[in-house]
Each structure stands twice: as C-alpha cells, then as structure tokens.
Structure 1
Amino acid sequence: MSGAVAPEAMQSLVPHKGAMCLWDEVLAWDADSIRLATMRHRDVDHPLRSHGCLRAIHLCEYGAQAMAVHGGLRSGGQAAPGMLVSLRAVELSVDRIDDLPGAIECHAQLLVDGDSGWQYQFRICHGSDVLAEGRAAVMLQPAHEATPTMGPASQPEGTP
C-alpha cells in the first residue's frame, strides 16, 4: 500500500490525460498521504501556460491532481470522478513556476474522507522553498444510474 509509482502508471490513476496529467511520479504514499514530483512545470508546451509563463496559481491544480492520484491509488484503480469545490487558506510565495530549475514536489495529506467527498491539505515545494500550500475539497460525483429513455408507455398523452 505504499511506495513509489512508475511514471507510466500515473495516467491510469487520474482522469487527466496527456499533457494535462501534471505529475511525473509518486515518490511515496500510504492511506493518509502522498508525495509526488514533476518537471512538467518547465515544459514550454504546458497546457496551463499563458503569455509565455506558468503562474503560481496553477499550483492549486497540481494540489488537486495530487488528491486525484492518491484517490486512484487508494481505490486500486482510477480516482472517483469529482469536482474541485473549495480552496482554502492558499498561500503562494512566488509569481510563476516555469522558470524554476529542477523538480517540484508535493506532499498532500488526507484530512477528510467521506462518502461524498475528500478534503486534503497540500504543500508544494521546490527544494526547501515552499511555493504553495493550502487546503482543497472535492465533491465526488454520484454514480449515475442509467437514464430511462421515453418509450411509448412513458410519453405524455397526445404525443405520437
């Protein structure tokens, strides 16, 4: 239940594919936390880049994806689909991250694990420098039941 995860396995854990899968590797994880690393912030074709740079605010997406990777590992497959509904106490210490040499790392700690959602605390660092930290909450999407189609018996009166 703990240990590293190979980079090629990362995309099987989250709904994000291709360049939108922001983490390169899981360094360690257990039932309550995860530690990841990436160099993708340096990619000139990063999907979140605008006007030639990648803003620090996007570290919130890195934190949210850390949650999804952890959820996938905990479930033994892909993370349950969900929606980021809250960011709290987010502190950013830099303006941009694309100019940082070397890897950035995230440590995410599970705070609440409920049937309808998760809450995590995350901290993203570059070496010993904290780039971002905060809390994020995800509301899990309920499993969708098959939507019945309107057959002749369910059509309103007077319709063909």
Structure 2
Amino acid sequence: MSADAPLLDRADILGLVPHQGAMCLWNAVLAWDAERIRVRADSHRDPAHPLRRHGRLGAVHLCEYGAQAMAVHGGLLAADAPPRAGLLVALRGVALSLARIDDLPGPLIGEAERLADSAAGQLYGFRILHDGRTIAQGRAMVALGGAVD
C-alpha cells in the first residue's frame, strides 16, 4: 500500500462511518484493499478535539483512532450500504510508546488489517505511526449493530 496522494478525503470518510463532526478522527484514506487500510489524521493537534481532557489528549485515545480506521475500512467494504453502528467490545495486546499525542507535530498514520469478520462483528489488528515510528498497536474487536440513520 502506498502513502502518496489521498484516495478519499474527509467528506468521503464522513459518508462511510457513523462517526460525524469532530468525532470523525481521520482526514484521508491513503490506500486500501480487501484486507487492509492506511489512513491519515491531523485531528490530534486540534485544541477542540472532543476527547481532550484538561487541555491534553492521551495516547490511550489512539485505540479510538484504530477503531475508527476499522470503521472506515468496513464502510469501504460495504460499498453502498449505510454505515453500521459498532461497539468497541475488546482491546488486546495494546502497546503505547508515549503518554500523550496532542503535542506531536506531524500527521498520524493509521494502519488496520482485518483478521476476522462476520455479520456480528469484526476483529482487526491496528498500528498508529507518527513520523515513521509506531506509537500504538494492538487488536480491537467491534460488535456490529444495525444501520445508522
């Protein structure tokens, strides 16, 4: 997968996922295929980020970035079907290499790989990079519900 020009922008992503407004964390899809996706975000530097607390954005929120990369991939795979709501039900093997992310100067790059998929849920491995270095990784399971209105 290439990291060049975006294939899809934020407006496209908003049409694929249930996350709307500031809670849609990714800005661009850089590459994707049936098993993987690569996305980019600058939202971690936004002073109005919805997950900030006391002026800071902790690295633990990279798990949400990973889960949303999964949602974007699922939306792309679903083609013209409406976005489905999901509930993050499990995180495993999560490793974070820093305490906070709001002070990182460049974009975040997210990579997610589908490990298992069914009508009831999805399991993905995810990795978040900054400046070419892995800052978070793990596995996430999402239970899927119905379409979002």
The TM-score normalised by the length of structure 2 is 0.90
- Unpaired runs of 5+ residues, structure 2, are 1-5
Runs of at least 4 residues off by over 6 Å: none
The one-letter code sitting in structure 2 at the alignment partner of 1:137 is M
CA deviation digits over 1:100-158, x for unaligned, max 9? Answer: 01101011000001121100000000012111000000111257xxxxxxxxxxxxxxx
User: Aligned equivalents of 1:142 and 1:102: distance in 2?
Assistant: 36
Question: SS at the partner of 1:96?
Answer: coil
1:68 is paired with a residue of what secondary structure? helix
Compared with structure 1, are the counterparts of its residues 46 and 142 closer, same or farther at alpha carbon in structure 2 (3 Å cutoff)? closer
- The CA RMSD measured in Å over matched residues stands at 1.3
TM-score, length-scaled by structure 1: 0.84
Q: In the alignment, which residue of structure 1 is the partner of 2:57? A: 54
Give the fraction of aligned pairs with identical amino acids, expressed as a percent.
Answer: 54
| Distance in 1 of aligned mates of 2:45 and 2:94 | 22
Structure 1 residues 142 and 43 mapped into 2: Cα distance closer, same or farther (>3 Å)?
closer
Residue 79 of structure 1 deviates from its aligned partner by: 3.2
Query: Which of the pair has more CA radius of gyration?
Result: 1
Tell me if structure 2 keeps the 8 A contact 1:35–1:107.
Answer: yes
Q: 1:85 — aligned with what?
A: 89
**Aligned counterpart, 1:29:** 32
Is the CA contact 1:73–1:79 (under 8 Å) kept in the aligned structure 2? no
Three-state SS of the structure 2 residue aligned to 1:66 is: helix
Q: CA deviation at 1:62?
A: 0.4
1:129 correspondence with 2:129: no
The answer to whether the Cα contact below 8 Å between 2:84 and 2:146 also exists between their aligned partners in 1 is no
Greater strand content: 2
Structure 1: any 5+ residue segments left out of the alignment?
Answer: 144-160
Whose relative contact order is higher, 1 or 2, with alpha carbons under 8 Å and at least 6 apart? 2
Q: 1:19 is matched with which residue?
A: 22
